A and B are shown apart, each in its own frame.
Chain A
Amino acid sequence: MTKTKLIAAGVSALALSVASPALAQIKIGASLAVTGPAAFLGDPEAKTLEMLVEEINAQGGINGEEVELVLYDDGADPNKARTFATRLIEEDEVVAVIGGTSTGATMAMVPLFEDYEIPFISLAGAVVIIEPTKEYVFKTPHTDRMACRKIFEDITARGLSKVGLISGTGGFGKSMREQCMSVAEESGVEIVADETYGPNDADMTPQLTNIAGTDGIEAIVNPGFGQGPAVVTRNYDQLGIEVPFYQSHGVASDSFIELAGDAAEGVRLPATPLLIPDQLAEDDPQREPVQSYIAAYEEQYGESPSTFGGYAYDAFHLLVDAIERAGSSDPQAIRDALEETEGHAGVTGVYTFGPDDHLGLDLSSFRMLEIQDGGWVPVEQ
């Protein structure tokens, strides 16, 4: 090392020690896919966390201690995520970690948090994250299995039972298709048609023609993500199919209505209350968090928050709540307090964790919505 470099290193070390505030600090880590293929998920998550940390510090922190967020961008790459997890634990010495935008990144980090006994709240969807229950691992988004159950519950409530599936072959569609197949029987529906399509296919009318031509078909469900579901919805409309049509929570956003246009009218899907902030009942426990999150996000970033940002909102508030109740920022105490969370109203749902339940949501947190006149309307049940 040259002399100047040495001096530079010394100066920066000095600057660091000067910069460290007098307040005690709670360090929270995060590894999210801010860029890369899952950026549309990770970007709102990161923005949400940054906004919330700023907000809570302006209010005097947690238990009088300032919060510091250490955020890394793993680009949804499991290898990077694992490296960042190690860095968060060993170098940054965080007390808890939020993140893993994708299931792959999450599962790569899980063993580390289990070994080092650091509480970890994932923002990814798959069931494997919390099943079997892992002592230090929690998650905030609904699972695709719950989405299938919710859809089937609505189908049977309409007195229908014979369902045709048309699923995307991307990760999301594939996983949800499997879950739907596995819960169909216990939910009282029968899968009578099972078709697939590629993520960039231009026309799904052959598959839909087959489904519509299946004997006794009563409803169609389309697990998928991205542009596929919008094409399927348009093809469904083009063919003039009459049976009820269900989309998944994967396309629960206003852009789906824009892409599918008039064809989306009458389509139902399970979603979080974030889509219907003004239609929540006065006494709905989620009304307050949903409205305040939307207002704060819009003010900060000038755009509407997404469902995915909502997962980060819930993860952060669950963590803050646990630290406050524990009265300590010791990782073990945070984990224990997290597990005792009861009736915590977030934007995604109302969380009640337990020793065997690290997701803490039940089906009632999903709202069944129908698209009417280009907007979302809750289905009365």
Chain B
Amino acid sequence: MSELLQFLVSGVTVGAIYAAVALGFTMIYNASGVVNFAQGEFVVIGGLTAAFLIAMGVPVFLAAVLAVVAGTVVGILLYRLAIRPAREAPLVSLIIITIGASIFLRGAMQMVFDKQIHRYDGFSGETPLRFAGATILPQSLWIIFGSFAVFVFLAWFMSRTRAGRGIRATASNRLAAALVGINTRWAMNLSFALSAAVGALAGVLSTPVTFTSYDVGVLIALKGFSATMLGGVGSPQGALVGGLLIGLIESLTAGYISSDYKDAAAFIVILVVLFVRPEGLFGKKLTERV
């Protein structure tokens, strides 16, 4: 029983990290239809910036805020310098631009920071909490709470605020959105900023548990993207459920079957779901009118 609980705790912790990354993907996709492959780099920028500031003696919470700001700024620059100049290009080109941006950011981080692995202490200490035979790090609670908070905020923002509806309108038809008076450029800007902020926050929260270095972004993005696909592209609920599901499948497979198969198990479930529901668990069926 305590074993199962430990597996669940592990799965939810890891799943919450995937979910946070997936929420970042969702944000940009919702605004532009672009899958941003530099999303993992936002996570690393958040983690590394926080690690360096804390090492320099900046108080933890100030460092966390500054790291999220740094991520946001990079997100805005990415949009202004790389995506906007190519806005007339087809979607595929924009996606390829984000791949280029991720390679560029990785190189830049090597120069700005270094090639070492970094971490800092958890926000509420390092003493694990014990309950019913299982243990959880206080930082894991921060991660889980953080992901839920981001989800609640994004879900509210996208459906209940003018700016959020503007972003969605921009995504579904940029010309029509502009015609009804939505500042589409501003909407895109906002979505990149928000998505980078979400990514950087994920990095800030997870680094005490997972560690970070300049080159881990690719793998983080891969897992986050899988969670996005499983949950349904563009749906915040989907991102959350998809992330948690993948985390749980991995930890339960590692716990009850074999750790050799945990990645395979997650991908098999994703494949099966996509066969049955190509739009993902929470995705909307798209119908193109011709």
Contact = CB atoms under 8 A, between A and B. Distances in A.
17 contacts: A195-B254, A195-B259, A200-B219, A202-B14, A202-B206, A205-B7, A205-B135, A205-B251, A206-B11, A207-B254, A209-B255, A210-B3, A213-B3, A238-B128, A239-B128, A240-B128, A240-B130
A196 B6 contact: no
Interface string A232-268: 0000011110000000000000010001011000000
Q: Which DSSP category, helix, strand, loop or mixed, fits chain B's interface? A: helix
B260 interface: yes
B13 A202 contact: yes
A116 interface: no
B117 interface: yes
Contacts of A209: 3, 6-7, 255
Most chain A CB within a 10 A radius of its CB, from B121, B128, B206: B128
Contact of A206 (B10, B128, B135): B10
A240 B117 contact: no
B6 A206 contact: yes
A227 B213 contact: yes
B135 A240 contact: yes
B106 interface: no
A88 to B, nearest CB: 27
B102 to A, nearest CB: 16
Nearest to A195: B259
Given A196-B259, A207-B259, A213-B3, A202 B210 contact: yes
A230 interface: yes
B220 A200 contact: yes
B233 interface: no
B137 A210 contact: no
B117 A197 contact: no
A50 interface: no
Interface in A209-241: 209-210, 213, 226-227, 230-231, 237-240
B94 interface: no
Given A205-B7, A231-B209, 12 more contacts: A40-B115, A196-B260, A199-B219, A200-B219, A202-B210, A203-B209, A206-B7, A213-B3, A238-B128, A238-B135, A239-B6, A259-B211
What band does the interface of chain A fall in when counting residues whose beta carbon is under 8 Å from B?
A: 20 to 34
Contacts of B220: 200
Closest 4 pairs (CB-CB, A-B): A206-B255, A202-B210, A206-B254, A200-B219
Most chain B CB within a 10 A radius of its CB, from A196, A238, A240: A238
A289 to B, nearest CB: 27
Interface string A311-353: 0000000000000000000000000000000000000000000
A60 interface: no
B34 interface: no
Given A206-B10, A209-B255, A259-B211, A226 B117 contact: yes
Interface residues of B, number: 34
Given A198-B263, A262-B126, A205 B6 contact: yes
Interface of B: 3, 6-7, 9-11, 13-14, 17, 115-117, 119, 121, 126, 128, 130, 135, 137, 206, 209-211, 213, 216, 219-220, 251-252, 254-255, 259-260, 263
Contacts of B213: 227
Contacts, number: 81
Most chain A CB within a 10 A radius of its CB, from B9, B137, B254: B254
Interface string A163-188: 00000000000000000000000000
B259 A203 contact: no
Interface in A40-61: 40
A102 B263 CA distance: 27
Contacts of B255: 206-207, 209-210
Contacts of A259: 117, 119, 211
A202 B6 CA distance: 15
Contacts of B121: 261
Contact of B14 (A40, A195, A203, A210): A203
A39 interface: yes
A344 B42 CA distance: 50
A362 B254 CA distance: 37
Nearest to A205: B10
B3 A197 contact: no
A104 B260 CA distance: 24
A203 B219 contact: no
B6 A231 contact: no
Given A200-B220, A202-B210, A205-B6, A239 B117 contact: no
Nearest to A167: B259
Nearest to A209: B6
Contacts of A226: 117
A239 B130 CA distance: 9
Contacts of B126: 261-262
B211 A205 contact: no
Contacts of B135: 205, 238-240
Contacts of B10: 203, 205-206
A318 to B, nearest CB: 29
